Chain A
Amino acid sequence: MTSIFIAVAVLSLLALVFGVILGFASKKFKVEGNPVIDQVEALLPQTQCGQCGYPGCRPYAEAIANGDHINKCPPGGTATMEKIAELMGVDQEPLNAEAQSTVKKVAYIREDECIGCTKCIQACPVDAILGAGKLMHTVIAKDCTGCDLCVEPCPVDCIDMIPVETTLQNWDWKLNTIPVKVIHSEPEEQAC
């Protein structure tokens, strides 16, 4: 009979101890916010273009975390969509916008046509356009995300989206794309 009481007492004690530990842990290691939002946001291209219908990449990440479609990011393209699908454990969906060209572009202001209306400056989500009222504006190319948002408001249509120039810094080693007389890099054994 006493053994039963001992068992009950021991189990109760154990339950109490674990309860205290769990209760402490739930307070101490509480996760603020939804970590999935941060993970999704890290995958999005941060162009802040608003083509998804949300005012920026973070709001869209929040929407995805709440179950929105994952195919609303044309700048990210299929690659981003696939990564989000993998992260969220949902099926891949084809992009709903028309196929975005994968060429990265930056805005370019034809400066002698600019009238200095500042409308593009207000439209730029990353403050990458420099200028002042009635003075010429110009795009800070290295900060431009190529989101297109400045093209629409320009009253004189002096903004072009031009592809990013390939330089030695961003050239990717794809031998097939350039006209190189390819050589085989090893000398033949019999040549020695």
Chain B
Amino acid sequence: MLTLLEQLDKGSLWQSPGGIHPPQLKTLSNQSAIARLPLATRFIVPVPLVGEQATLSVGVGDKVLKGQSLTEGAGFTYLPVHAPTSGQIVAIEQHATNHPSSLPTLSCIIESDGQDTWCDLIPNSLEQLSKLQILDKIKQAGIAGMGGAAFPSHVKLNPASEIDLVIINGIECEPYITSDDRLMRDHSDEIVSGVGVINHLLNPQRIIIAIEDNKPEAAQAMQAALNRSNLPKGVARVTVIPTKYPSGGEKQLIQIITGKEVPSGAIPAQLGIVVHNVGTAFAIQEAIYQGKPLIERVVTLTGEQIGQPGNYWLPIGTTVADALQSVHFIESAEQKVIVGGPMMGYALAELDVPILKGTNCLLVPSHNEIAADVDEKACIRCGECAVACPALLLPQQLFWHAKAEEYDKAASYNLKDCIECGCCSYVCPSDIPLVEYYRVAKSALKIEAEEKRQAEQAKIRFEARLQRLEDEKNAREAKAKEAAAKRQANMKSTDKDAVAAAMARIAAKKAQDSAASSAPTAGSTTQVPQTVVDPKKAAVNAAIERAKAKKAAQANTVSDDEFDKNTAEVNVDDKQAKIAAAVARAKAKKAAQVNAESTVQTPNTAETSVAGTEPPADTVDDKKVRVAAAVAKAKAKKLAQAGQTDDTTVTTEPTTDAVDDKKARVAAAVAKAKAKKLAQANQTDDTVVAVEPTTDRVDDKKASVAAAVAKAKAKKLAQASQIDIGEAVSRPTVGVESTAEIAPNVALTATADSAELSPEQIKKAKVAAAIAKAKAKKLANSAEQEEQ
């Protein structure tokens, strides 16, 4: 029993099943050497990978050189596309392509400049490059399988498994086509040197150059070249195989050479075999030794309608119309132009499409060569197709199911293993275009599989989305829970505030009671300063003192100049403080006016405190102290009134109450002021003051303070005016004047401040303005009353 290698060396051949023997018709085109056609002016270079694996590296209007790469990209199966000649890119647009569908695909339209200038080429030798560099060079040259399928060659030259056998395919079994035949005859040495590169890369045990016996000249030329070459002896040999269609098919050729059958769905590399076309070997040699990218190929232009049939070097991107024009193409009615051979080729719908890397033949037959379409007749179940099928399929069964559109059943008869060779159609006595049915069925199955894949994808995405929504919901709930817990915690602290507020309220009530009870005694006292214990209280008291002093000073002079001076002295650095100060000022002024005109009793007591209390006023920098000061001011004014009316007693005990919470203290102070006012109100008239509402709003400290201050002032004013009415009926104009003066003042300061304040402060300013308005109204009312 001989081993496979020995049998290969002996040239043993196996039978492949099926196959036909169509007329060859090769002599039409293989009589002359490969020629060149005049350079066309316009080239269409499709760049189908752009948008998927590649990007364009040129733009419209760019000048390109022959061999310049038009695309950049990455990816295992990415192949660059090169300019076939030098010239200018006049458009990058969707253009019909060389495909049975003629669907448009993105293409660069290059207008030749006629120079055909090469870009810089880098020739190398095998020794200079590592295997990876060689593979990269082959990839960058854009070399694809030249046999027709145009599969990227560098992928096949870099297999995952060990390669034992390389078959160089020079079979060219289709009728009419002679491009490989002529290439082997004219460029045998180059092909063999390309085979050397493949040998270097794959290092197989054997290389078989397979040629059909209808090409004896090519076989001789290749054998001679092989003998001349420096390939190791015994590795490579030329094997001539009998002519039969479709021996050139990859799987059929492997079966003939080795007797092995490539399993369904497998690739030859799994058997340790790789098949390359002779044209590919030639292109590899050009790429390595001359640095030329794959920009032209041999195309057989043949058929009786062509004046000069033969093989021509055509730049890839040459339009079919241009190529045919150059070889004196005679157009007849209903002319068919077939790309590829008569067995597997397809007719073009239009001629303005480019030559591609896999275009090996353009067949332009006359009506005598290829018969007109015949109507399909019923299948007579002769079984000829099954005999002819090289893939051992059951074409009849496939036909039934494909025709009935039961594609899944057709698939169960291994439709995917059909190589679309056309043998079954060729032998069919009923003229049934069987391959057409299979192609339709195949594409339907392909689309179905794609839809299934998309459905699977959609399902995965849908489930991922549901998962995401679920996660988001959980996260939201967790956050809400956390926030609730936080709120709970905050609630506890606000409870504390509430307690403090309640305490303040109690204190206020107490103050009210004491005010009411002390009213009859009518002994005005200013004991506050003496009871001060801690620094903070001292500050509060100091502020009170200051306010009193100021008021007193005003009361003394009753001049606007002095009033201004006083306010200027107050070194207030904070805006809020300014507002408070403005409010206080307004109040003070008003109070002073009232004092001056109604009574002169207070100056004595006020004067005494002026000197001692000025300094602290300058050092007021703490906010809270200022708030307290504002409150105190209100109180002070009240005191002044007390001085006027002589029948009110001011009790300042509540301030000294040891309420450790500051807010509570402020509230208490406010409450106190109100309480006092209430007491006064009780004495002087029937005005009802609601104490509770203001004290409830402990949380908005400043607002409530301001409100309390405003209320206090308003009430006081009312009282003052009432007292005026009671005491001196002869001074009706005072109220009116003060209204006129105060209202604008307060409004002005409020607006002036608000212009430069932040939103928070603006709010406060607004509160102040509202207070001022309220006061003004009250004053107006009182003035009216006076008039009456």
Q: Do A and B come from one complex?
A: yes
B599 CB → nearest A CB, Å: 67
Chain A nearest Cβ from B432, distance in angstroms: 12
Which stretch (A8-16, A92-100, A125-133) binds chain B? A125-133
Q: A170-B450, A191-B25 are in contact. Are A186 and B425 (CB under 8 A)?
A: yes
Mask, B78-107, CB within 8 Å of A = 1, is: 000000000000000000010111110100
- A residues 67-90 near B (Cβ < 8 Å) are none
User: Which residues of B from 352 to 375 have beta carbons under 8 Å from A?
Assistant: 365, 368-374
Least Cβ distance of A189 to chain B in Å? Answer: 7
Contact B103 A167 (CB under 8 A): yes
Which of B334, B373, B461 is the most central at the interface, judged by chain A CB atoms within 10 Å of its CB?
Answer: B461
Q: Which of A21-29, A41-49, A112-120, A152-160 contacts B (4 or more CB under 8 A)?
A: A41-49
Residues of A within 8 Å of B334, CB to CB, are 181
Complex: chain A residue closest to B451, CB-CB? A45
Contact across chains for B24 and A192 when beta carbons are under 8 A apart: yes
Cross-chain contact of A46 among B25, B349, B439, B458 (Cβ < 8 A): B458
Asked if A180 is an interface residue, CB under 8 A from chain B, the answer is yes
A-B contact number at CB 8 A:
129
A6 CB, min distance to chain B CBs, angstroms:
53
Closest CB in chain B relative to A185 CB, distance in Å: 6
Shortest distance in angstroms between B367's beta carbon and chain A's nearest beta carbon? 10
Q: A182 interface residue, CB < 8 Å from B?
A: yes
* A167 surroundings in chain B (CB, below 8 A): 103, 105
A111 lies within 8 A of chain B by Cβ: no
Task: Give the docked Cα–Cα distance between A181 and B451 (Å).
Answer: 31
B455 touches A46 (CB 8 A): yes
Is the pair B369, A191 in contact by a Cβ cutoff of 8 Å? yes
Known A168-B48, A183-B338; judge A47-B447 contact (CB<8 A): no
Is B342 part of the contact surface with A, judged by Cβ < 8 Å? yes
Q: Which residues, 21 to 55 on B, are CB-close (under 8 Å) to A?
A: 22-25, 48
Decide if the interface of chain A is mainly helix, strand, loop or mixed.
loop
State how many residues of chain B have any CB contact under 8 Å with chain A.
59
Asked if B454 CB lies within 8 Å of chain A CBs, one says yes
Q: Once the chains are docked, how many angstroms separate the CA of A171 from the CA of B440?
A: 10
Contact B345 A185 (CB under 8 A): yes
Check: B457 CB closer than 8 A to any chain A CB: yes
Are A48 and B439 also in contact (CB < 8 A) when A172-B444, A186-B343 are?
no
* B1 → A minimal CB distance (Å): 42
A183 touches B347 (CB 8 A): yes
Given contacts A48-B458, A168-B99, A178-B102, contact A126 B440 (CB under 8 A): no
Smallest CB–CB gap between A65 and chain B, Å? 17
Task: Kindly state whether residue B442 has any CB partner on chain A within 8 Å.
Answer: yes
The reply to whether the CB of A5 lies closer than 8 angstroms to some CB of chain B is no
B456 CB–A CB distance under 8 Å: yes
Q: Are A127 and B349 in contact (CB under 8 A)?
A: no
A183:B97 contact, CB within 8 angstroms: no
Tell me if B347 and A180 are in contact (CB < 8 A).
yes
Q: CA A187 – CA B444 in complex, angstroms?
A: 28
Q: A171-B101, A181-B349 are in contact. Are A47 and B371 (CB under 8 A)?
A: no
B435 within 8 A of A: yes
Q: Are A175 and B436 in contact (CB under 8 A)?
A: yes
Does any Cβ of B come within 8 Å of A91's Cβ?
no
In the assembled complex, the Cα of A46 lies from the Cα of B465 at a distance in Å of 14
CA distance A9 to B444 in the complex (A): 63
Interface residue A101 (Cβ < 8 Å from any Cβ of B): no
Given the known interface contacts A46-B455, A192-B25, the answer about A125 and B465 at a Cβ–Cβ threshold of 8 Å is yes
Query: Contact: B456 with A46, CB < 8 Å?
Result: yes
- The complex places the Cα of A44 from the Cα of B444 at a distance, in Å, of 18
Partner of B422, one of A47, A168, A178, A185: A185
Given A48-B458, A168-B97, A172-B447, A189 and B23 contact (CB-CB distance below 8 Å):
yes
Q: Given the known A-B contacts A46-B462, A187-B23, are A178 and B101 also in contact in the complex, defined by CB atoms under 8 Å?
A: yes
- Mask, B320-361, CB within 8 Å of A = 1, is 000000000000001110100011110111000000000000
State which of B372, B454, B459 has its C-beta within 8 Å of the C-beta of A57.
B459
Per a CB cutoff under 8 Å, which of A45, A46, A174, A184 touches B373?
A184
CB distance from B441 to the nearest CB of A (A): 9
| Chain A residues, Cβ within 8 Å of B335 | 181
Enumerate chain A residues within 8 angstroms of B103, measured Cβ to Cβ: 166-168, 171
Cα A188 to Cα B24 with chains together (Å): 12
CB within 8 Å for A173 and B349 given contacts A46-B455, A168-B99, A192-B23: no
Listed A/B pairs (28) with beta-carbon separation below 8 Å: A46-B455, A48-B458, A48-B462, A125-B462, A143-B458, A143-B461, A145-B454, A167-B105, A168-B97, A170-B447, A172-B440, A173-B436, A173-B439, A173-B442, A174-B443, A178-B101, A183-B336, A183-B347, A183-B365, A183-B373, A185-B342, A185-B344, A185-B422, A186-B371, A187-B22, A188-B368, A191-B369, A192-B23
- The chain A residues found within 8 Å of chain B, CB to CB, are 41, 44-48, 56-57, 125-128, 143, 145, 166-168, 170-175, 178-189, 191-192
6 further A-B pairs in the complex, CB-CB below 8 A; given A46-B455, A46-B458? A46-B454, A48-B459, A181-B336, A184-B372, A187-B365, A191-B370
Please list the 6 inter-chain residue pairs (A to B) with the smallest Cβ-Cβ separation, ordered nearest first.
A192-B23, A46-B455, A172-B443, A183-B336, A126-B461, A173-B439
